[in-house]
Amino acid sequence: MSERWPHGLVYAVVCRWGGVVVALGAMCGVAGAAAGGEPGSVADFPPVEALPASSELPDPLVMFGTGEAVRTAEAWYRKRRPQIVALVQHYMYGYLPEAPAVSAEVRRVDAAFLSGRATLREVTLSFGPPGTPPVDLLVIVPNGRQAAAPVFLGINFCGNHTVVDDPHVALPRSWVPERCRGAVENRATDEGRGAQAEAWCVDELIARGYALATFYCGDIDPDRPDFTDGVHPHFLRPGQTEPGPHDWGTIAAWAWGLHRAVDYLITCDDLDRRRICVVGHSRLGKTALLAGALDERIALVVPHQSGTGGMALSRGNQQETVARINTSFPHWFNDVFCQFNGCEELLPIDQHLLVCLVAPRPLLDTEGDQDLWANYEQALAALRGADAVYKLLGRRGLVASGVVRDDEPFTAENCGDIVQYRRDAPHVLNRDYWRRILDFADFQLGAPASAP
Ligand code: GCU
Residue 177: per-residue pLDDT = 98
Plot region of 406 (φ>0 → left; ψ -120 to 50 → alpha; else → beta):
left
The three-state DSSP-derived secondary structure of the chain is CCCCCCCCCCCCCCCCCCCCEEECCCCCCCCCECCCCCECCCCCCCCHHHCCCCCCCCCCCECCCCCCECCCHHHHHHHHHHHHHHHHHHHHHCECCCCCCEEEEEEEEEEEHHHHCEEEEEEEEEECCCCCCCEEEEEEEECCCCCCEEEEEEEECCCHHHCCCCCCCCCCCCCCCCCCCCCECCECCHHHCCCCHHHHCHHHHHHCCCEEEEEEHHHHCCCCCCCCCCCHHHHCCCCCCCCCCCECCHHHHHHHHHHHHHHHHCCCCCEEEEEEEEEEECHHHHHHHHHHHHCCCCCEEEEECCCECCCECCCCCCCCCHHHHHHHCCCCCCHHHHHHCCCHHHCCCCCHHHHHHHCCCCEEEEEECCCHHHCHHHHHHHHHHHHHHHHHCCCCCCCCCCEEECCCCCCCCCCCCEEEEEECCCCCCCHHHHHHHHHHHHHHHCCCCCCC
* Residue 246 and residue 42 in contact, taking contact as beta carbons nearer than 8 Å: yes
Cis omega (within 30 of 0) for bond into 360: yes
Q: How far is the CA of 217 from the centre of ligand 1 (A)?
A: 14
> What are the sequence ranges of the domains in the chain?
2-445
Residue 153: per-residue pLDDT = 99
Query: Measured from the CA of 286, which atom of ligand 1 is nearest?
Result: 10
Q: How far is the CA of 320 from the centre of ligand 1 (A)?
A: 9
Q: Is 41 a catalytic residue?
A: no
Question: Cβ contacts of residue 11 below 8 Å, gap of 6+?
Answer: 24, 25, 27, 263, 266, 267
Instruction: Return the CATH fold of 2-445.
Output: Rossmann fold (3.40.50)
pLDDT in tens, the chain (452 residues): 222 222 222 222 223 233 344 556 433 333 444 433 444 568 899 999 999 999 999 999 999 999 999 999 999 999 999 999 999 999 999 999 999 999 999 999 999 999 999 999 999 999 999 999 999 999 999 999 889 999 999 999 999 999 999 999 999 999 999 999 999 999 999 999 999 999 999 999 999 999 999 999 999 999 999 999 999 999 999 999 999 999 999 999 999 999 999 999 999 999 999 999 999 999 999 999 999 999 999 999 999 999 999 999 999 999 999 999 999 999 999 999 999 999 999 999 999 999 999 999 999 999 999 999 999 999 999 999 999 999 999 999 999 999 999 999 999 999 999 999 999 999 999 999 999 999 999 999 999 987 76
Is the CB of 314 within 6 Å of ligand 1? Answer: no
Cα gap 66→45, rounded to integer Å: 12
Residue 42: per-residue pLDDT = 84
Q: How far is the CA of 291 from the centre of ligand 1 (A)?
A: 18
Is the CB of 163 within 6 Å of ligand 1? Answer: no
* Residue 83 and residue 371 in contact, taking contact as beta carbons nearer than 8 Å: no
Residue 43: per-residue pLDDT = 87
* Residue 102 and residue 123 in contact, taking contact as beta carbons nearer than 8 Å: no
* Residue 189 and residue 223 in contact, taking contact as beta carbons nearer than 8 Å: no
Q: Is 282 a catalytic residue?
A: yes
Residue 452: per-residue pLDDT = 66
Is the CB of 371 within 6 Å of ligand 1? Answer: no
One-letter identity of residue 42: V
Query: Measured from the CA of 283, which atom of ligand 1 is nearest?
Result: 12
Query: Measured from the CA of 309, which atom of ligand 1 is nearest?
Result: 9
Residue 34: per-residue pLDDT = 42
Residue 58: per-residue pLDDT = 98
Residue nearest to atom 13 of ligand 1 (CA): 282
End-to-end CA distance of the chain: 27
pTM: 0.93
